[in-house]
Structure 1
Amino acid sequence: MEPVHYSVQGNEILQIFRENFSKEDAVLFLDGTAGEGGHSLLFLQEFPNSKVILCDRDPVMLSRALARLDEFKNRVVPIEINFSEIDSDLLSSYGVTDAPQGILLDLGISTFHLLHSGRGFSFRESEPLDMRLSPDSGLSAKDVLNTYSKDKLMQIFYKYGEERWSKKIAEVIVDRRKLNSIFYTSELADLVSKIIPRKFWPPGRHPATRIFQALRIEVNQELAHIETGLISLLNLLRLDGVIQVISFHSLEDRIVKNAFRDYAKEKGFTLLTKKPILPSEEETKINPASRSAKLRVLRKTKSVDKKYRREDFEEEEESDV
C-alpha cells in the first residue's frame, strides 16, 4: 500500500496565491512539475474559475496526476514535457494563447519515484540502476557508473553530491567494474558503505545518499534544466503574475536564489521572499521529507525587456566557458 501523498508547503503556496489573486479570478496556473498532482488540486479547489497547465517529463507521473484531478479534467491542460522546454510557442500548440499568472516548480523527487517506480532512485530496495525521470531517454545511472572515467565520476560525486570521499569512491568503482559491471542499487550502496568509515557516516542518513543524489542529478541533468527553465518561465510569466519555486538542496536553491535576485534587480520583478520560507514544524512532523524544503517567491511587476530565446541563453552559456 502506497503512503499518503503530501503536497510540500501546500498551505504556504496557496496563501501566497490567495494574497495575489482573487478567488473569483480566472487564473491560469502552470504546474511545471506535476508529480502526484497535489498542488494543482489545491489551486483548482481554491480558484473555481481557474485552469491549470499540468506538466511533467515523466508520463507515469502525469498519468497519476491526471487520475487524481479527474473531477477537474475540463480545467486541466496536460503536457508531457520537461519544464525547461516550456515557452509560448509550445503552449500555443496546445491551444493556450495566454501567459500563465501563477507558476509553481517543486524540484523535489517524488515519493512514488523513490519507493514504487522500480527505477533505482533509492537504496532501500535492490533495483536496476536507472534513475531516469524520462523513461527510455538518455543515459541511465548504470551507464554513467560503468562508462564514465574515474575523473568524471569523481567530479560529479563532488560537484553534485558534495561528497568528501568522491575520489576514493570513483577509484573503487573503476576497479570493481573491471571485474563486473555494477547493475543494482544494492551493489552500489554496499560498495559505498564499505568505502566510507562508519565514523564519517552522516547522522541519520545512509552513507550512499550523496552518491545517489549526484547520479540522479547527472542522469537527468537537473541543474542545467533548472537554469534554463527558470529563465524561460520568468519571461513567460504574465505581468503581475507570481512564480513560486521549492528546492530541496543547496545546489538547486543557489540557482533559484541567484536568478530571483538578478531579475528583482534588473528585470522589474519584486522579490516576495527575502529569505526562503521553510516548512512548519507541524509539516515536518507529518511529512519528514519536507524538512529540507525552501520556498522562494517572485512577482512580475514590469515587462521584461526582450523576449526570451533559447539560443541566446545557450550562446551566453558557451561564452562563459
Structure 2
Amino acid sequence: MSDDRSTAERHVPVLAERCLDLLAPAVERPGAVLVDATLGMGGHSELVLRRFPELRVIGIDRDPQAIELAGARLAAFGDRFTAVHSVYDDVDHVVATHAPGGVEGILMDLGVSSLQLDEAERGFAYAQDAPLDMRMDPSTGTSAAELLATAPVEELRRILRDYGEERFAGRVATAIVRRRERQPFTRTSDLVEVVRAAIPAATRRTGGNPAKRTFQALRIAVNDELAVLERALPRALESLVVHGRIVVLAYHSLEDRAVKRALARGATSSAPPDFPVEPETHRPYLRLLTRGSEEADDEERATNPRATSVRLRAAERTRPTPDHMRPGARSAA
C-alpha cells in the first residue's frame, strides 16, 4: 500500500543543518553546483536549494520512484534542479555531462531510503509482509527472492557474515537452503520465520528483531551497495573543484569504514616516511572537516529514528589529485 503522506512528511533529512553548514563555504559561491548523489525524496536537496539561492543541484538516484517524487517536490526550483536516473558510482559521468568544469559540493546520504522502507511492497522491511524484492531499482537486477533461490550455502553465509555482521551466519544460511529445497522464498514473512527459528532462543530475547541483520545483508548484496560505494568515492572526489567539499552520511560500520579510508587516504601524504623533504606531488589533496565521525544529538535521535546510527564525515579538496594517487579513476575500474 502506498503512503498517503506528502513527500516532505515522509522524509526528514538527517543532520540537515550540519550538512548545510559544512557545505556552505563551497556552495554559496555564485554559479556553484552541488551533486546530491543519493537523491531519495529530495529532502536535503530542497534545503540546500532554499538556503543557497544561486546554487544548482544535480540529483542522482537509481530508484525511478525517487526520481519521480523528488522531481515533483523540487519542480518549483525550475532549471536549478536536474534529476538523473543512475547509480551514484556514475557520478563522474554525470558531472562531465551536466557540470563539465567540476562541482563545488557533493552530498551522499547512504543506505536504504525512507521511500524504500515506507513502501511495504518493495520488500525492504522485515516488520511488514511483502514480496521479497529489495531492489533499489525494481526494473533491473536480481531480487532477494532470486538470490535466496540460487546462491550456494557458502555464499549465503559470506553475505550474512560480511554484510550483516550476523553471528549465526552459518546457521541461518543452512536454514535458508533447507527451506528452499521444500518451498521457494517469495515473501518477507517467509524469511523472517526461517531466521527467527535459526537464531538461538537466548539471543532472540535481546537486540530487537532477529531478522534485522539478515535483511541488511541481503539488501546490500542485492544492490551491490559496498562495491558501488567503493567505486563512487574516488570518482566523487575527482569531480570536486579545488576548495569543493564532500559530506557523507553512513549508517553502518561497513559504509563508514569505506568512507573513512577514502577520505583519510586523500588527507595523508603519500611520501615515504623517511623522505627528508615531502615532494609537492605527494602532499595531501584533502583536508578533513570533521574529527573522526560525527553523530546526531539526543534530540534528533528522539524525533528522527533514522538518525540513531548515522555517522557523518566531510572533507575539502585542497588541490588536484596527482596521477599516482588515483586508484579509483575509471580507466582502472
- TM value normalised by structure 2: 0.89
> Secondary structure of the residue that 2:236 maps to in structure 1?
helix
> Secondary structure of the residue that 1:239 maps to in structure 2?
strand
> Secondary structure of the residue that 1:297 maps to in structure 2?
strand
1:149 maps to a residue whose letter is: P
The 2-side partners of 1:220 and 1:10 are apart by 26
Q: Call closer, same or farther: CA 1:293–1:185 in 2, change over 3 Å.
A: same
Match of 2:254 among 251, 256, 259: 251
2:64 is the alignment partner of 1:59: yes
Match of 1:141 among 144, 148, 171: 144
The 2-side partners of 1:181 and 1:24 are apart by 55
1:116, distance to aligned residue in structure 2 (A): 1.1
1:22, distance to aligned residue in structure 2 (A): 7.0
> Secondary structure of the residue that 1:60 maps to in structure 2?
helix
1:24, distance to aligned residue in structure 2 (A): 5.7
1:317 maps to which residue?
Answer: none
Match of 2:296 among 243, 265, 279: 279
2:329 maps to which residue?
Answer: 309
1:105 maps to which residue?
Answer: 108
> Secondary structure of the residue that 1:121 maps to in structure 2?
coil
Identity %: 36
2:317 is the alignment partner of 1:294: no
> Secondary structure of the residue that 1:65 maps to in structure 2?
helix
Match of 1:38 among 39, 43, 47: 43
1:74 maps to which residue?
Answer: 79
2:330 maps to a residue whose letter is: R
Q: Call closer, same or farther: CA 1:298–1:228 in 2, change over 3 Å.
A: same
Say if 2:120 and 2:128, in contact at 8 Å, map to a contact too: no
2:20 maps to a residue whose letter is: L
> Secondary structure of the residue that 1:86 maps to in structure 2?
helix
The 1-side partners of 2:40 and 2:223 are apart by 16
The 2-side partners of 1:52 and 1:288 are apart by 27
Say if 2:292 and 2:313, in contact at 8 Å, map to a contact too: yes
Q: Give the aligned CA root-mean-square deviation in angstroms.
A: 1.6
2:108 is the alignment partner of 1:91: no
1:202-239 Cα deviation digits (max 9, x unpaired): 74521000000000000000000000000100111111
1:27, distance to aligned residue in structure 2 (A): 1.9
2:32 maps to which residue?
Answer: 27
The 2-side partners of 1:22 and 1:252 are apart by 25
1:319 maps to which residue?
Answer: none
The 1-side partners of 2:33 and 2:211 are apart by 41
Match of 1:196 among 194, 199, 204: 199
1:63, distance to aligned residue in structure 2 (A): 1.1
2:307 maps to a residue whose letter is: S
1:254-273 Cα deviation digits (max 9, x unpaired): 00001100011144110111
The 1-side partners of 2:314 and 2:71 are apart by 26
2:154 maps to which residue?
Answer: 151
Say if 1:28 and 1:101, in contact at 8 Å, map to a contact too: yes
1:318 maps to which residue?
Answer: none
- TM value normalised by structure 1: 0.92
The 1-side partners of 2:118 and 2:56 are apart by 31
1:157-194 Cα deviation digits (max 9, x unpaired): 00100101111111111111111111110010011111
2:218 maps to which residue?
Answer: 215
The 2-side partners of 1:103 and 1:96 are apart by 12
2:17 maps to which residue?
Answer: 11
Which structure 2 residue ranges, 5 or more long, are not aligned? 270-283
The 2-side partners of 1:90 and 1:113 are apart by 23
1:268 maps to which residue?
Answer: 285
1:274, distance to aligned residue in structure 2 (A): 2.2
1:118 maps to which residue?
Answer: 121
2:18 maps to a residue whose letter is: E
Q: Quick check: 266-275 or 285-294, which moved more?
A: 266-275
Q: Call closer, same or farther: CA 1:4–1:135 in 2, change over 3 Å.
A: closer
